[in-house]
Structure 1
């Protein structure tokens, strides 16, 4: 950790870290910052993009979790991450599946996790690694998935508990200086999806028929604080995405989900700062770490 600073990223399932923050992770590691990635579940309920692995689905062998865990190990290597953890250990919490399905109600589903109990698990990690920055999702989890929403709640509760001297935790308190939520600028996503839709057939992609209604982690431009340039780390980001073959396929400059929905592999990643102050200029900021930690 040449720069003496640390960033913790809290994600819901294997592949989320690469889809939402793969370039950021690769850049931070390359710059010598410490990076810890915490994953809430092994993604046991996920859809499967590769037909020959369809037997792993929850409705057949129910063996997707271990395969996604292997994919995540490979993605961590591609991004250069040495410190990856499952919240509470591997298998502590199970993928809850999409909102409203029976899997949400399983006793071991992450959606059913007690917020303070899971928050303490996150706070333990925060006190141990003492990050200058914590990154997670917005309150809707980016797109309304139960585990993404719960990851947001648990990460934010973990930040609170880590700074609470009365919390039932070991180690000295740690007040995280900056907290960010992942985001995508609305203007950019509408423009990109509109342009992509004109080539969807030739690319073999499915694109939302009304890009303006695209819901996944989209925020108005003025809400966003940081545009982080990851263009020098696109190869690492694409390699990490390519590791998650049960969930998506990399096709040149695009990544395609099991649903067929395609998106460009972005050379920038965007963040809303919810602790540490909103930007004061009209332009995006370009750095994530507080000045003292750079």
Structure 2
């Protein structure tokens, strides 16, 4: 191989090195970047998958056509590489290769320093945020404790208020029921007093008013039911007592009818005499 071909081959190899991704040069020369967001990772992953699928399709199409050409190119590449390492320009090639490697190392170091400084700044800011978060957590805990203490007092007051409201509602209901029951009791007491004094006609009117007016308003109470059940008995008792007294009165009149007639005639005669005397004196 001539010197011109050797120099061209050296340039080709150096161009391949320059075009190679710096992340793939070696494990000691890789640049570690900061993690990207999840969304960007997914987009990048989808893009890479799509590109890989397209490349696979292209490779499958060219696989059969380029099989023989690849074998020939591999043979040529082996011969060229052998000529590079066996030729006289091997030392010059290695020097150029070392220069390119040092240049790549400097670029990689700059890139790593740039991203490392950002990483350090992010960690510092994160530590500050953690301190503020701890302070905020302490404040929230203290506020929650005060709120719980105040809430206990408020709950106690609310329970007392609820009990008072229940008592107030019960008292109002009791007063309303008593306002309907008291007229019934007063009317029944009046009925008993009228029966005791033998005023039977007013007692019948009171009993009728009690049955048709007071008892329906009072509601379904036990004493109201007892009064309603005893009303016919009371009416019968009043009727029997009144009839007994009437019969006794009539019998007494029949027994003393002679005396009554004599007394009536005497009083009538006395009245007539007094009228006659008055007319004579006039």
Q: Same fold (TM over 0.5)?
A: no
**Structure 2-normalised TM-score?**
0.15
Higher strand share: 1
Higher helix share: 2
**Structure 1-normalised TM-score?**
0.14
Higher relative contact order (CA 8 A, sep 6+): 1
Q: Look at both structures and tell me which one has the larger radius of gyration over its CA atoms.
A: 2
